[in-house]
Amino acid sequence: MKKINKGEKIKLKTKIINVLRRTWFELLSILSIFFLIYFIPTDYITNSDVINPKLGLLSLFFSKFLFISMGILHATITRKVLFPYINFKEEKGLTSNAIMVIVLYAIIIFGWVRGG
């Protein structure tokens, strides 16, 4: 088994920190939505006698926001795993690598939002 030296550990930690710095808003929003869903009383959500239009609008907002955030996280992880060699700071202009990554993000986020 290959041993990881100290320099590679530091490089891996900085990569993880950079990804977390980039996706902190999505992670925070997903956790807050899960906590809201967990702590809202079930009678308020499932009461069929009283129809609350505000609750329908709120649930639509939460579901779309959750799907978009999950799509962004999924696309970021997929891009980092499949294409780690693409670095946008080194790319000059709109190259085929940049277009490929942009299309990958768009397809994954669209798939999450549409429910597929």
pLDDT per residue over 19-45, tens digit each? 888 888 888 888 887 887 778 776 666
Quote the pLDDT of residue 48: 61
Domain boundaries, position 58? 6-114
Assess if residue 60 is contained within a domain.
Answer: yes
Instruction: Examine the pLDDT at 54 and tell me if it is beyond 70.
Output: no
Assess if residue 1 is contained within a domain.
Answer: no
Q: How far apart are CA 86 and CA 97, in angstroms?
A: 7
Instruction: Please count the structural domains in the chain.
Output: 1
Instruction: Examine the pLDDT at 6 and tell me if it is beyond 70.
Output: no
Assess if residue 82 is contained within a domain.
Answer: yes
Quote the pLDDT of residue 110: 92
